[in-house]
Structures are given as C-alpha cells and as structure tokens.
Structure 1
C-alpha cells in the first residue's frame, strides 16, 4: 500500500461519498486509488467548476466537499473558486498534485509554488515532504473542516510523496483553543435586555433546532445575514428578514431599536454593520472576525449551552410594521424580475442557485428560504460562473430538483459544465435570463460614471441549440404568458430554459 492508497482509504473512513475533479499527470496516483474505491468521482470539464461544485455540495447539505486537480495548470484553475469559498467560509478539502520534491523551487515543467499561492485563499495550505506528513495533514484538515468549518483547506501532494510505501499514519490529538471569558458579561446583557435580537449567520446553521426552540419559547425576534437565511423559516413571523444593506422594514426597525444584539456565527462585514452596534454579543469560531465589546471566541453550540434566556414581549410591536417591499417591474411582461418572481413561485420549495449579476438581486429579494441551504450563491466574492457547477454539486449532494437562475453572461463562464450535467443525468433546471448584456455593469457605467454603455453588449449563441448539442432538452420563451404556460407543466432536468428579457436597473446597495 502506498500513501495514495491510504489517503483514499481515510477519505472513505471519514464518510466521503463524492469528489469533484479533473485528472492529470501528477495526481494520477490518487486517481488510481480512487478507481478501486467506493467513492464516486464527478468529472467536471474545468477545475474551477470542480471547486465550485464542491462548494455547492457543502452549502446545500453540510456534507464535506472535496475537489481534486493536478499540478500548476490544473491547480491554478482552482483559484477563483477557492477565493469564493474562502470569502464565504465554506469548508472544502482541496487536493492538488505536484511534481517530485526535487523540482521544488526550480523552473521545471509545470512547477510553481502553488501551495504558497493558495495560502492567501485558504484557511491553511499544507505542503507535506513525506508520506507521514501527508497523512497527518489529511487527518488535521478533515478534523478542522468538520469541527471548525470556516473555509477551504489545501493539501499539495508531490507525486513521489504519493507513491511512498514507508510511512506512519499518526492519529490526531487536537484541541481547539476557545475564549469564553466574556460569557458572564453576555449573560448580564441578556438578563437586562427587554428588546433582544438575534442575528444569525452561516456559523449558526448547525444549531438550527436549538435556535428555533429558543426563538419560539422566548419570543426573541430573528434577523439573518445572507448565508444564515433559513435557519428560522422565512415563513415564520419571528424571522424578520435580512439585516444590513438588504434590510426589510421590520429587520431594520428591530436592529435600530434592540437593546441587546446577539450575533451568532456571522462575519460582521460592512454588508451587515455600517457601524458596530452597542450591546453587541458576537460569537464566532474565527477569532479574526470578532467585533464589539463582548466578543466570544467559540462555537455557537457551546455559547447556547452556557446562556439562559427569558421571555420578552416586543415582537408584536415589530409586526405592526408593514414589511412589504415594492419591486418595480415585477409584473411587466419582459422584465427579469417578473420572470424570476414566477419561477420562484412555481418552485417555492426547491433549492435555488444563483450566480452573479442583476438577476441575483431579484432572486434574493423574491426567494423565501424555508431552511438552511435553500438559496445558494456567493455573497462575498460573487464570481461569474458560480451557478452551474454549484447547482451540479447541490444536485449530487441532495438528490433533489435544483433550480438554477443564471444571466446570459455568467452562464457562459462555465458553459462547458453542461456536459457534466448531462453525463450525470441531474435534475437541474437552468433558467437563463437573456438580455444580451452585462446589465449591472452597464448600470454602474451609466449611473456612477456618467458614461455611455461600453463593452457590455453580448452577441450570444443560440442557447437552445447549444444545450441541444450536449443532448439536453431546451426551450426558449419570449414573453411572460409563455413562461407561465411552461411553468404549469411538470418539468424535470436536465433542462435549459432561455427566457428572453429586457434591460433593467436593480436597486444597488448604498
């Protein structure tokens, strides 16, 4: 048995069922071992798509996502997707092949300091020099990804290291260093509070049931960040909606009038806080993101185990506020927001994936998240091309019908993944909102730079013919009536629906 064989065995022991990747010379020992394993390998057509798919795989179900690439050309194709996962704190295991150790720091063919490059877009980048170090790195990475899920971890694997047969497999003894010293102060703030407010982020998803119980029992209103949506169903009156730049009227009121804000598992970015509020209790496993006068470095689970709450009575005051958000153009025949409103109404309970662009604004405004992972999109990096591979990852993970809402520009960034979609016969319905432009860039040019639209018009292919060339059913609709008629049918993927829409302007964050 060599290191590659044991590597794959450990992945099996840890319950890894699916991995995403593209094979290549230097990573072939891993692929040989995978071929004899129980793990399902999903062949993507581009390494960026493999990492986005691993990202969507995790976000939709919480299962560990794994992506694999070979040396430099393959590994460096990961960079955009890893930066996306890093900015959104998505834990994925990233494995890259490399040339033999003797070629490190040389100008040898396909040699670059890739582990050094990845250090800036991953939580950690391991560069093991022998088989024992490689297996230790794997065990450490999996432990951290499962217990401290705050971003991708990379292991760079030289070909000769993978082929070594003389190694030790050392079991871990790993302790997390938390700092709960402010727990007494947090309890005092909560005890004095008559108007407490939860702000829940992705780091609180694991405590969904406990938080539902607390919010319901003590009538504590809840707001969320983008990635905390669905921890409390948005059909529940206690969930006031998002806080920050996309605040709903009720969440804005509650944030401004709360006397104690309990922020659990949030990153506290500028999209959430323009200014750090007083009486903020901020709990996060990532010490680097903590803000305010009462920071607690630790797990949300441990915080909730130490804290007691009391029943409060201010939710009725909040609910008297009209929470309606009027969206101009939502019933106009060819506006993107009108199409998206109807698509989301039809597929109310399905996981929805969005990409980057103007359609993302309408999707996040119209989508009601009933559970975590109900809406997948990149909030902090927002790369074009995220949607299709992330939808593939979600479909592999959940075995559900996945709804992808794309723009015509971002769809073409990873259009080659239609092959992956077809090959795996996934139940993904791809809606392409086609306005033949980079609409949101045009809006920035016109509104903020006082210039005419420049280099934003797109000469698009025939999307129906393009999808058909991959063997995927496709249809084009050119008005709202035809879209509504189509949505009355029982639709199943893989399916591509091109929706021809007009230009529009979105409400940009201020």
Structure 2
C-alpha cells in the first residue's frame, strides 16, 4: 500500500462519501486509489466548480466537502472557490498534487509555490515531505474540519510522496484549547439583562434544537446572519429576521435597544454588525474573529452548557413593530423581483442556490428559510459563478430537488457544469434571469459615479439552445404570464428556464 492508497482508505474510514475534482498527472496516484474505493468521485468540468460544489455540499448537509485537483493549472483554478469558502468559514479538505520534491522552487513544468499561495486563503496549508507527515496532516486536518469547522484546509501532495510505501500511520488525540474565562462575566451580564438578544450564525447550526428550546422557554428574541437563516424558522415570532445591512425592522429595533447581545457562531463582519453593540457576548471557535467586551473562544455547545438564562419580557414590545419590508415591483411584468417572488412561491421548501449580483439581493429579501441550509450563496466573497456548482454539491448531499436562481452574467461563469448536471442526471432546475447586463455594476456606475453604462451590456447566447446542446430540456419565459404558466407545471431537473427580465435597481443598504 502506498501513501495515495492510504489517503483514500482514511477518507473512507472517516465517512467521506463524495469528492469533487478533475484528474491530472501529479495527483494520478490518488485517482488510481479512488477508482478502487467506495467513494463517489464527481467529475466537474472546471476546478473552481469542483471546490464550489464541495462548498455547497457542506452548506446543505453539514458534512465536510472534499475537492481534489492536480498541480499548478488545477490547483490554481481552485483558488477563487477556496477563497470563497475561507471568507465564509466553510470547512473543505483541499487536496492538490504537485511535482516531485526535488523540483520545488525550480522552473520545472507546472511548478508554482502552491503552499504559499494557499496559505492566504485557508486556515492551514500543509506540505508533507514524506508519507508519515502526509498521514499526520491528513488526520489532523480531518479532525479539525469535523470538530472545529473554521474554514478550508489545504494539503499539497508531491507525486513522489504519494508513491512512497515506507511510512508510519498513527491515531491522533487532540484537546481543543478553549478560553472560557469570560463565562462568569457573561453570566453576570445575562443575569442583569432585561432586554437580551441572540444573534445566530452558521456556527450555531449544530445547536439549533437547544437554542430554539432556550429562546422559546425564556422568550429571548433571536436574529440571524445570512448564513444563520433557518436555524429557527423565519415563520416563528421569536425569529426577528436578518440583522446587519439588510436588517428587518424588528431586528434593527432589537439590536438598537438590547442591553445584552449574545452572538453565537457569527463572524461579526461589517455586513452583520456595522456598529459593534455594547455589552456584546461573542462566542466563536475561531479566536481570530472575536470582538466585543466579552469574547469567549470555544464551542457554542459548551457555552450553552455553562450559562443559564431567565425569562424576560420584551418580545411583545418588539412584535408590535411591522416587520414587513416594502419591495416595489413584485407584480410588475418583467421585473426580476416579480419573477423571483413567484419562483420562491413555487419552491418554498426546496434548497435555493443563488449567486452574486442584484438577483441575490432580491432572493435573500424574499426567501423565508424554515431550516438551515435552504439558501446557498456566498456572503463574504460573492464570486460570480457560485450558484450552479454549489447546486451540484447540494444535489449529492440530499435527495431533494435543488433550485438555482442565476443572473445571465453569473450563469456564464460556470455554464460548462451543465455537462456535470446532465452526466449525473441531477434534479436541478436552473432559472436564468436574463436582463442582458451586469445589473448591479450598471447601478453602481450610475448612482455612485455618475457614469453612463460602460462595459456592462451583454450580448448573450440563446440560453435555451445552449442548454439543449448539453442534452438538457429548456424553456423560455418572455413575460410574467409565461413564467406563471410554466410554474403551474411539475418542474423536474435537469431543466433550464430562461426568464427575460428588464433592468431594475435593487434597494441599496442604508446604514
């Protein structure tokens, strides 16, 4: 057994069921081992799509996403998607091949400083120099990804290392170095609080049942970040909605009037907390993102076990506020928000994969999540081309139908993945909102720079014919009535629906 065989064996032992990638010379020993394993390999058509798919796989299942690529061309194609996962703290295992060790630092064909490049966009980038080191870093990486999911971990594997047969393997034992020293101060603040508020991020998903029980028992209102949507159903009164730059009226009132803000598993970016509230208790596994006067470095689960709450009485005060968000044009023909409203009404329980741009704003404003992972999109990096491959990952994570809401510009960033969808007969329904422009960039040009539209118009292909060339059924809706008629039917994937919409400005955030 060589190192590559053992790597795949460990992945099997750790319950990895799906990996996403493209084979190549330097990573070929791993692919030989994969071909003889129980692991399902999903062949994408671009490495960026492979990593986005692994990202979507995690967001919709909670299972570690794995992507595999070869040396420089393959590895460097990963970087946008790995950076996206890094910014959103998504745990991915990123395996890249490399030339033999003796060629490190040379101008050998397909040699680049891969480890140094990935250090900037991962939680760790490892470069094992022999088989024993490869075993150590792989086991360490999987342990950390499962128990302390802070972001992607990269392992760079030289071909000669993968082929080594003389190596040692061993079990690892870890202790998480938490810092719960502020627990007593946090408890004093909670005990004295009359208006506590919880903010839930993706790091709180694993504790959703406990949090719901506590919030309902003690009547503590909660808000969520974009990636915490659905931890408590947005149909329930206890959930005030989004906090931050897209805050609902109730969430905005609550955070402005709370005397104790308990942030669980949030990254606390400027989009979530444009202003850091006073009396902030911030709990996170990643000590590098902790802010406020009461930082607690540890698991949300451990914090909830250590802390106690008491019943408070200010939820009814908050519920008197009208929480509706006025959105114009929801019934106007050819408006993108009108189309998105009807798509979401057709698929209220399905996972929605969105992308970047104006359609994502409408989707996040209109989508109501009843459980975590129902809305997939990148909040912190927002690359164009995320939605389609993320939907592929979600389709391998769950048996339910996945719905993509894409802009025409976004779709063309990774449209080659229609081949992956067709090859695997995935139940994905793709809506392309076609306004023949980069809409949000056009809006910025006009509103922020006083420009005429410049380099934003798109001369698009016929998307229905394009989908048909991949063997995928396609329909076009030229107006709202057409779309409504299409949505009356039973829509199953693979399917592309092109929806012709007009240019429309999104409501810009108000701080």
TM over 0.5: yes
Residue 233 of structure 2: aligned partner: 233
Provide the rounded CA distance (Å) in 2 between the counterparts of 1:401 and 1:79.
29
1:344-423 aligned within 5 A: 344-423=344-423
C-alpha displacement of 1:173: 2.0
Residue 496 of structure 2: aligned partner: 496
TM-score normalised by length of structure 1:
1.00
Residue 107 of structure 2: aligned partner: 107
- 1:7 is aligned to 2:7: yes
Provide the rounded CA distance (Å) in 2 between the counterparts of 1:341 and 1:213.
31
Provide the rounded CA distance (Å) in 1 between the counterparts of 2:484 and 2:108.
58
Is there any run of 5+ residues in structure 1 with no aligned partner, and where?
none
Instruction: Give the number of equivalent residue pairs.
Output: 510
| 1:52-75 deviations in Å (ceiling 9; x for gaps) | 000000001101100000000000
Is there any run of 5+ residues in structure 2 with no aligned partner, and where?
none
1:101-140 aligned within 5 A: 101-140=101-140
Provide the rounded CA distance (Å) in 2 between the counterparts of 1:310 and 1:250.
22
Name the SS of the counterpart of 1:30 in structure 2.
Answer: helix
Provide the rounded CA distance (Å) in 1 between the counterparts of 2:215 and 2:402.
30
Residue 84 of structure 1: aligned partner: 84
Write out the 4+ residue segments of structure 1 that deviate beyond 6 Å after TM superposition.
none
C-alpha displacement of 1:489: 0.9
| 1:171-191 deviations in Å (ceiling 9; x for gaps) | 112211100000000111111
| 1:315-336 deviations in Å (ceiling 9; x for gaps) | 1111110111110111101000
Provide the rounded CA distance (Å) in 2 between the counterparts of 1:399 and 1:94.
25
- 1:197 is aligned to 2:197: yes
C-alpha displacement of 1:505: 0.1
Provide the rounded CA distance (Å) in 2 between the counterparts of 1:39 and 1:112.
29
| 1:162-214 deviations in Å (ceiling 9; x for gaps) | 00000000211221110000000011111111111000001101101100110
Residue 34 of structure 1: aligned partner: 34
Provide the rounded CA distance (Å) in 1 between the counterparts of 2:52 and 2:134.
24
C-alpha displacement of 1:274: 2.0
Residue 426 of structure 1: aligned partner: 426
Provide the rounded CA distance (Å) in 1 between the counterparts of 2:51 and 2:378.
13
RMSD (Å), alpha carbons = 0.6
Name the SS of the counterpart of 1:268 in structure 2.
Answer: coil
C-alpha displacement of 1:479: 0.8
- 1:60 is aligned to 2:60: yes
Name the SS of the counterpart of 1:6 in structure 2.
Answer: helix
Provide the rounded CA distance (Å) in 2 between the counterparts of 1:95 and 1:509.
39
Name the SS of the counterpart of 2:391 in structure 1.
Answer: helix
Provide the rounded CA distance (Å) in 1 between the counterparts of 2:176 and 2:108.
40
Name the SS of the counterpart of 2:235 in structure 1.
Answer: coil
| 1:412-450 deviations in Å (ceiling 9; x for gaps) | 000000000000100100000000000000000000000
Provide the rounded CA distance (Å) in 1 between the counterparts of 2:321 and 2:486.
37
Provide the rounded CA distance (Å) in 1 between the counterparts of 2:75 and 2:399.
28
- 1:312 is aligned to 2:344: no
Provide the rounded CA distance (Å) in 1 between the counterparts of 2:114 and 2:431.
36
C-alpha displacement of 1:100: 0.4
| 1:399-419 deviations in Å (ceiling 9; x for gaps) | 210010000001000000000
Residue 277 of structure 1: aligned partner: 277
Provide the rounded CA distance (Å) in 1 between the counterparts of 2:231 and 2:409.
32
| 1:280-335 deviations in Å (ceiling 9; x for gaps) | 10000011111111100000000000001111111111111011111011110100
C-alpha displacement of 1:234: 0.3
Name the SS of the counterpart of 2:25 in structure 1.
Answer: coil
Residue 337 of structure 1: aligned partner: 337
Residue 71 of structure 2: aligned partner: 71
Name the SS of the counterpart of 1:301 in structure 2.
Answer: helix
Provide the rounded CA distance (Å) in 2 between the counterparts of 1:275 and 1:238.
23
Name the SS of the counterpart of 2:26 in structure 1.
Answer: coil
Name the SS of the counterpart of 2:67 in structure 1.
Answer: strand
Provide the rounded CA distance (Å) in 2 between the counterparts of 1:136 and 1:398.
31
TM-score normalised by length of structure 2:
0.99
C-alpha displacement of 1:273: 1.6
Provide the rounded CA distance (Å) in 2 between the counterparts of 1:277 and 1:406.
35
Name the SS of the counterpart of 1:26 in structure 2.
Answer: helix
Provide the rounded CA distance (Å) in 1 between the counterparts of 2:344 and 2:190.
38
Residue 476 of structure 2: aligned partner: 476
| 1:101-146 deviations in Å (ceiling 9; x for gaps) | 0000100000011011000000000000000000111000000000
Residue 172 of structure 2: aligned partner: 172
Provide the rounded CA distance (Å) in 2 between the counterparts of 1:405 and 1:51.
19
